[in-house]
């Protein structure tokens, strides 16, 4: 699962292959076996999301300090 936090504070699920943002995830977002279509890869990604778990995790894809 690939998650991206944007500058405006929103959190997005991203395609695991190309990194394209697919849909927004909120704290109460939940989906099970949701077929998300990636227009970049032209394929379906089956997604299981529990927003609570994502937001509880320590900033999954936050930029690393010191990385340029
Ligand atoms: Zn993709």
How many Å lie between the centroid of ligand 1 and the Cα of residue 30?
21
pLDDT confidence of residue 67: 42
How many Å lie between the centroid of ligand 1 and the Cα of residue 33?
17
How many Å lie between the centroid of ligand 1 and the Cα of residue 41?
4
Burial of 22 (0-12, 13-18, 19+ CB in 10 A): buried
Q: Are 29 and 13 in contact (CB under 8 A)?
A: no
Instruction: Output the pTM of the full model.
Output: 0.75
pLDDT digits (tens, 9 = 90+) for 27-55: 999 999 999 999 999 999 999 999 998 88
Work out the mean pLDDT of the chain and round it to a whole number.
85
């Amino acid at each position: 699962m690939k998650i991206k936090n944007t500058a405006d504070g929103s959190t997005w699920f991203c395609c695991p292959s190309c990194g394209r943002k697919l849909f927004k995830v909120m704290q109460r977002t939940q989906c099970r076996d949701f077929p998300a279509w990636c227009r970049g890869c032209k394929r379906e990604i089956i997604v299981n999301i529990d927003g609570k778990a994502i937001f509880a995790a320590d900033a999954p894809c936050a930029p690393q300090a010191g990385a340029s």
